[in-house]
Amino acid sequence: MRIEDLLDVIGEVDDELLERSEKLRYKRKGVWMKWGSLAACACLVLVAGLWAAGLGAKKMENAESDMEACPEEKVEMNGTMDEAPEAPEAAVPEGEYIEGDAPTGEPDYGINPLQGADPAGSALCFYKYEGDGVTSFYMYDNEQENKILDLIAGLEYEELERPSEEEITYPIYGIEIGRRDGWTSEVAWSNGYWFTADGAVLKADFDLGSLETDYEWRDTYQFESVEVLPCARFICQNEEGWNAEFMTPSNALKGQEDVTMAIVEQSEMTLNVEIENHSKRRWEYGQEYAIQVLLDGVWYDVPMLPGNWGFTTELLTLPEGESVERGYNFNLFYGELPMGTYRLVVAGIAAEFEIE
């Protein structure tokens, strides 16, 4: 395909779609867009990459021609060059957030559970959890995002101890937005209590649920597990252990028959396992894994700690009749786990272990 054809294709892409695709780069570990959206973004990246490659080659040819035409402006690659003048500090548009600061032009509000948010580069994601699944909503409008962030930053917060389990009630809401440093700001809310990503509990006089009806949201998605809810770990775990009231029962295991996994060594941070393929066909799996906990005879999903966690997507295989040993550092994603019976789940097969 000619570069001109690629430019024609790119020119037909809707500007709003481009903005939304760019803003969704801050998607968190467990939240996956529908395959159609992913395919569209992948095609766009492929087209843009091919176009950039052709354009880059053309620019290189032009640059070489310009240097030949203007020898006095050439840069000596093996010599020295004058120090470039210091670039002026870029101005931050009014209303945008910069890392570690309150909104530009506004006073320092003090406590801000979404400090460092970057509405110019990230969609704002709003979550709602009522015990039977999580619903997510997205906002791409910078002006509306800034209004919400200003509202949250301007509240008066009081830092408290964790509320009693009776004080945590449904519905539970959450907000997530990317930051300028590439990480994510997130917070969960229930009955006036704010659960932040660093484990703090705040109290402020505001109903976060009102955002659902007071603002316009786009692209609604449904998820079965509470794992996708921002700061879900601090909702589900208390000082005594896990609270099954707010956790999601795990789906039944659907691994390949005659493939087994057993713990061969366990430490405070890692699990070493042996996986054996006794079947008559190869077993396919990946880097992804999950931890589940057994409570009153029911297995529940264990939420990861807040953070920009994710798994690489390479395909791993285990040929028929062979075995492999692998190590899993569960402490990296899950931190310190309360005492109990757990299982490591990899591609539908599991191995149980105890935390004492």
Could you give phi then psi for residue 310, rounded to 5 degrees? -170, 170
How many CB atoms within 10 Å of residue 253?
13
Distance CA 305, CA 236 (A): 11
* Structure letter (DSSP) for residue 117: B
Distance CA 108, CA 69 (A): 54
pLDDT of residue 15: 58
Residue 252 half-sphere exposure toward CB, CA atoms < 13 A: 2
Could you give phi then psi for residue 56, rounded to 5 degrees? -65, -40
* 64 SS3 class: helix
* Identity of the amino acid at 19: E
pLDDT of residue 155: 96
pLDDT of residue 31: 34
Distance CA 73, CA 94 (A): 39
Residue 307 CB contacts under 8 Å (≥ 6 apart), including other chains: 29, 183, 184, 197, 333
* Structure letter (DSSP) for residue 103: S
pLDDT of residue 14: 56
* Structure letter (DSSP) for residue 24: G
How many CB atoms within 10 Å of residue 279?
14
Task: Pull the structure tokens for residue 349.
Answer: 């097969």
Burial string for 232-252 (b: 16+ CB within 10 Å, else e) reads bbbbbbbeeebeeebbbebee
pLDDT of residue 22: 52
pLDDT tens across 88-147, in order? 443 433 333 333 343 333 334 468 999 999 999 999 999 999 999 999 999 999 999 999
- Where are any strands of DSSP class E within the chain? 124-129, 134-139, 158-160, 172-178, 184-190, 193-196, 201-203, 218-223, 237-238, 241-242, 259-266, 271-277, 283-285, 290-295, 298-301, 316-318, 323-328, 340-346, 349-355
Task: Per-residue pLDDT tens, the chain, 356 aa: give them.
Answer: 444 444 444 455 555 554 555 555 434 443 333 333 434 444 433 334 433 344 333 333 443 444 444 444 333 333 333 443 444 443 433 333 333 343 333 334 468 999 999 999 999 999 999 999 999 999 999 999 999 999 999 999 999 999 999 999 999 999 999 998 989 999 999 999 999 999 999 999 999 999 999 999 999 999 999 999 999 999 999 999 999 999 999 999 999 889 999 999 999 999 999 999 999 999 999 999 999 999 999 999 999 999 887 899 999 999 999 999 999 999 999 999 999 999 999 999 999 999 99
pLDDT of residue 309: 79
Residue 193 half-sphere exposure toward CB, CA atoms < 13 A: 22
pLDDT of residue 19: 53
Task: Pull the structure tokens for residue 338.
Answer: 């309360």
Bridge partners of 139?
A: 124
pLDDT of residue 76: 35
Residues in the chain: 356
What global pTM score does this model have?
A: 0.72
